[in-house]
């Protein structure tokens, strides 16, 4: 787990009452006290011209793939009891991971940390065939919570490798999703991390070349990388459909809309959440005077509000809405009580749960698919 909080900042989950092992996870409102300067002190430090308000981006927060993965772990706990092992963070959010740990989930980096035969969930980011094979060798009972939109990219990689094509995989080397996709066809795949690498990458057969991408990249940067690649390799083929997922595109479109009007944009999301980090970058590229990313409201520094009239707010695809609401509460305390929600798309996608779970739930007549912290569109 690479998202690390300052030792001075207690985690939201740590401050919540310990939930009962085996019961569905309730992702509750964090209680995180922190000494702060007063609103009057902050306002005295710099004059604010204009009315104070919040522009709240929508869509934001939980996507369908994250929702499905968190519910999969909740259901695994409910049906099997603790411990449930999860390879890597189920989704890249500190609060979700801490809350599930309190419920009896054990997060491991690799499968050799899991006892033989134990129940193990694969995270939303997906795994390579080598990991699936290792799980089988260790007789692990597995639930695959890979997002179906990541699975789609895996299938494309397998198909194009079978056609003996070379694949340029645009994505961040070392990210779990990229490791999983690369692992489907390592002999055919070259990872392109950024525009600089697009300018220098070499391929064996430039006339039999296709590009794929990680699902959570910056839309604009990916287009730039593809255009550089196409200049060098004019016969480069596009994937059959966009690999950057609907949730990533929609959240970036919403933050692009609000950023030109914002003095400050706050993105709620963890440091290892690719789409949260991209949102912060996009906010600045599209005109926000300043952008900051926080896991929790208590990481918001009130000095950021000096001279600020309009605060933009959004959250990454792995962030429960409760964390955004806590930032809104804090903002209201500093005079940003007027909230304008700017909606650039409606989302109603829900993925069915992993097949292993559906079979088990059917056996015991469990039809409940409670939403594991999925956000609502309301600003209230
Ligand atoms: S961000 Fe996109 S690819 Fe990732 S889990 Fe959500 S819907 Fe799936």
- Does the Cβ of 189 fall within 6 Å of ligand 1? no
- Residue 252 CA to ligand 1 center (angstroms) comes to 13
Would the CATH topology of 64-146+350-363 be identical to that of 149-232?
Answer: no
**For residue 245, how far is its CA from the centre of ligand 1 (angstroms)?**
6
H/E stretch holding 59 reads none
Torsion of CA 213, 217, 221, 223, to 10 degrees: 40
Ligand 1 pocket test, pick from 175, 216, 276, 373 with the greatest ligand atom count within 8 Å of Cβ, gives 216
* CATH number belonging to the domain at 149-232, selected among 3.50.50.60, 3.40.1010.20, 3.40.50.1370, 3.30.2130.30: 3.40.1010.20
pLDDT single digits (tens) 270-321: 999 999 999 999 999 999 999 999 999 999 999 999 999 999 999 999 999 9
- Please indicate if the annotation marks 175 as binding a ligand: yes
For residues 86 and 109, give the distance between their C-alpha atoms in angstroms, rounded to a whole number: 9
Phi, psi of 349 (to 5 degrees): -80, 130
Indicate whether residue 145 lines ligand 1 (CB < 6 A): no
Grade residue 370 by pLDDT with cuts at 50, 70 and 90. Answer: low
The CA 47 to ligand 1 mean position distance, Å, reads 41
Pocket test for ligand 1, best of 245, 252, 277, 319 (most atoms within 8 A of CB): 245
* pLDDT at residue 26 is higher than 50: no
Average pLDDT over residues 185-208: 97
Q: From CA 252, how far away is CA 58, in angstroms rounded?
A: 10
Q: Is residue 282 within 6 Å of ligand 1 at its C-beta?
A: no
Q: Which two tokens stand for residue 315?
A: 């959250």
- What ligand 1 atom has the least distance to the C-alpha of 216? 1
User: Average pLDDT of 351-358?
Assistant: 92
**Annotated catalytic sites, by residue?**
177
- How far is Cα 230 from Cα 237, in angstroms, rounded to an integer? 9
Counting every residue written for the chain, the total comes to: 380
- Find out whether 274 is annotated in a ligand binding site: yes
Cα 6–11–17 angle (5° rounding)? Answer: 160
Ligand 1: which residue has its CA nearest to atom 7? 65
170 beta partners: 192, 213
**Which atom belonging to ligand 1 lies closest to the Cα atom of 275?**
1
Q: What is the pLDDT of residue 68?
A: 95
Confidence at 33, pLDDT banded by 50, 70, 90:
low
Take residue 64 and report the two structure tokens written for it: 């369908």
Domain spans, the chain:
38-63+246-343, 64-146+350-363, 149-232
CA distances from 98 to 12, 111, 248, 296, 310 (A): 8, 20, 24, 13, 32
Tell the burial category of 184 from Cβ atoms under 10 Å away from its Cβ (0-12, 13-18, 19+).
buried
> So what's the pLDDT on residue 248?
97
Measure 161 CA to ligand 1 centroid, in angstroms. Answer: 24
Per the model's pLDDT, the better-predicted residue between 24 and 197 turns out to be: 197
Q: pTM for the complete prediction?
A: 0.89
Q: Tell me the C-alpha distance between 252 and 233, whole Å.
A: 28
Tokens representing residue 193 in the block: 């991390």
CB 167 within 8 A of CB 210: yes
pLDDT digits (tens, 9 = 90+) for 139-171: 999 999 999 999 999 999 999 999 999 999 999
**Which pLDDT band, with edges at 50, 70 and 90, does 374 fall under?**
low
- Calpha distance 350→348 (Å, rounded): 6
For residue 132 the two structure tokens come to 């699936």
Helices 246-258 and 274-285 pack at an angle, to 10 degrees, of: 30
Q: Give, in order, the Cα–Cα distances in Å from 276 to each of 118, 279, 294, 361, 376.
A: 32, 5, 10, 33, 18
The predicted pLDDT at position 4 comes to: 24
Q: Pocket of ligand 1, candidates 62, 65, 69: which has the most ligand atoms within 8 Å of its Cβ, to mutate?
A: 65
Q: Is the CB of 124 under 6 A from ligand 1?
A: yes
Mean pLDDT of 323-347: 97
Name, in order, each residue with C-beta under 8 angstroms of 161's C-beta and a sequence gap of 6 or more: 167, 184, 185, 187, 188, 189
Those residues whose C-beta lies under 8 Å from the C-beta of residue 16, and which sit 6 or more positions away, are: 28, 30, 31, 99, 102
**DSSP character at residue 237:** B
123: annotated binding-site residue? no
CATH label, 64-146+350-363, candidates 3.90.470.20, 3.40.50.11270, 3.40.50.920, 3.40.1000.10: 3.40.50.11270
**36, pLDDT greater than 70:** yes
| Statement: residue 138 has pLDDT above 90 | yes
On whether 262 is known to bind a ligand per the annotation, the reply is no
Cα of 370 from ligand 1 centre, angstroms: 19
Question: Is 310 annotated as a binding-site member?
Answer: no
pLDDT at 267 over 90: yes
- At 18 the pLDDT is 38
Cβ 282 vs Cβ 217: under 8 Å: no
215 annotated to bind ligand: yes
**Residues of the chain with pLDDT > 90: what percent?**
83
What CATH code is assigned to 38-63+246-343?
A: 3.40.1010.20
Per-residue DSSP letter, 24: P
């Amino acid at each position: 787990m690479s998202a690390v909080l300052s030792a001075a900042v207690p985690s939201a989950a740590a401050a919540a009452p310990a939930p009962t092992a085996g019961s569905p996870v309730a992702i509750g409102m964090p209680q995180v006290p922190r000494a702060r300067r007063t609103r009057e002190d902050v306002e005295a430090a710099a004059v604010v011209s204009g009315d104070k308000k919040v522009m709240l981006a929508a869509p934001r927060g939980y996507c369908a793939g994250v929702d499905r993965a968190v519910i999969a772990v909740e259901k695994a706990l409910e049906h099997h009891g603790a411990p449930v092992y999860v390879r890597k963070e189920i989704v890249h959010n500190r609060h979700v991971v801490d809350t599930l740990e309190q419920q009896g989930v054990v997060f491991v980096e690799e499968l050799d940390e899991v006892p033989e035969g134990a129940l193990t969930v694969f995270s939303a980011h997906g795994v390579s065939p080598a990991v699936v094979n290792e799980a089988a060798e260790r007789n692990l009972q597995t639930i695959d919570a890979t997002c179906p939109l990541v699975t789609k990219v895996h299938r494309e990689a397998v198909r194009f490798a079978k056609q003996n094509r070379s694949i340029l995989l645009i994505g961040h080397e070392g990210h779990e999703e990229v490791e999983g996709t690369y692992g489907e066809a390592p002999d055919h795949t070259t990872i392109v991390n950024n525009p600089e690498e697009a300018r220098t990458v070499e391929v064996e057969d430039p006339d039999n070349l296709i590009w794929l991408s990680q699902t959570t990249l910056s839309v604009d940067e990916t287009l730039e990388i593809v255009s550089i690649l196409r200049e060098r390799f004019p016969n480069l083929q596009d994937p059959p459909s966009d690999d950057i997922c609907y949730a990533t595109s929609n959240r970036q479109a919403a933050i692009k809309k609000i950023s030109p009007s914002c003095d400050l944009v706050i993105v709620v999301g963890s440091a290892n959440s690719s789409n949260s980090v991209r949102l912060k970058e996009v906010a600045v590229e599209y005109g926000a005077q300043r952008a900051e990313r926080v896991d929790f409201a208590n990481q918001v520094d009130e000095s950021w509000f000096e001279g600020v009239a309009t605060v933009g707010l959004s959250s990454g695809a792995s962030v429960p809405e409760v964390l955004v609401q806590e930032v809104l509460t804090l903002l209201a305390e500093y005079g940003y009580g007027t909230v304008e929600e700017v909606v650039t798309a409606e989302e109603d996608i829900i993925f069915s749960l992993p097949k292993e779970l559906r079979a088990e739930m059917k056996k015991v007549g469990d039809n409940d698919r409670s939403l594991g912290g999925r956000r609502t569109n309301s600003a209230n």
